[in-house]
Amino acid sequence: MLSLSKFMIKQIPYIMQNFIRSIILALFLTIFPSSDTYSQNLITNGDFGVFDPSILSPIPVGFTTTYTQIPYTGTTPSSTGKFAITNNPYALAPSDFRNVYDHPSDGSAGNGTGNMLFVDGKNNQMFWKQSPALPLQGGVKYIFTYWIRNINKSGPTPGPKVRFTPFGCSSCTAQDYAPNDYEWHKVSYAITPTVTEFISIELSTVNSVPAGNNFAIDDISLLPPPLPLTISTSKVNPSCYGFSDGL
């Protein structure tokens, strides 16, 4: 009887290890039932970089545009068909624009350290087009996202409206979005090509009026499908103690 008791006591650490391992795994799967992680953003420079006061007109990287760039300082007056890469478009027209900081990708309050794309809308003109085009796999769902904010102090009606067009996607359609207030809004679209195609996403203004169609764009992303969570486990089988061990 004494030998059996000692054997059972020596097995407790190994039994507890397996029990604790099972509990941790069960808790992880309960708290994170779909713990998938996205791959790297396929859009280059989607946040328009870090603000540098010495660079008045940062070079557009990762996109092309039909608009004309102006310095962020407001030394060149903003007008229809102009854009700027800036940390705050207020200086471009203090009497008309709000103080607006960039949309931080981590969800915290903007502090002016990051840039955004300011757009002075021109009727039915492309202001941002992803460059270069990317091969997107057929039958795979991608998520395209951008953030938009109306920066006018007030009016007019209608406000800014942006059209999303995935050029090169034979199975996709253009879609429009218009913010209804003066806060940052997240806009997302699914892109699922039926066949593998080279696709370039374009953002353009829709029916822009000459005045008041002013807005900011930030944190543009194109994400491929989630990478599945993989969990690997290993087990070490200990040598069992005999009844006579330690006697």
pLDDT at 154 (0 to 100): 81
HEC sequence for 81-101: CEEEEECCHHHHCCCCECCCC
Q: Give 40's pLDDT tier (boundaries 50, 70, 90).
A: confident
Q: Give 123's pLDDT tier (boundaries 50, 70, 90).
A: confident
Average pLDDT over residues 55-70: 96
Q: Which residue has the higher pLDDT, 176 or 111?
A: 176
Using the predicted structure, report yes or no on whether residue 26 has a pLDDT greater than 50: no
> How much is the pTM?
0.76
Single-letter residue type at 46: G
pLDDT at 130 (0 to 100): 97
Q: Give 87's pLDDT tier (boundaries 50, 70, 90).
A: very high
Using DSSP's 3-state secondary structure scheme, residue 10 falls into helix
CA 77, 205, 109, 142 torsion: positive or negative? negative
pLDDT at 234 (0 to 100): 59
pLDDT at 224 (0 to 100): 96
Q: Give 194's pLDDT tier (boundaries 50, 70, 90).
A: very high
Q: Which residue has the higher pLDDT, 172 or 158?
A: 172
- Which stretches within the chain are classed as H helix? 2-31
Q: CA 175 → CA 116, 135, 147, 162, 228, distances in Å?
A: 22, 21, 15, 8, 30
Using the predicted structure, report yes or no on whether residue 160 has a pLDDT greater than 70: yes
Q: Looking at mean pLDDT, say which of 4-8, 87-91, 100-104, 235-239 comes out highest.
A: 87-91
pLDDT at 113 (0 to 100): 86
Using the predicted structure, report yes or no on whether residue 114 has a pLDDT greater than 50: yes
Provide the percentage of residues in the chain whose pLDDT is more than 70: 70
DSSP string, 153-188: SS--SS---EEEEEET-TT---EEE--SSSS-EEEE
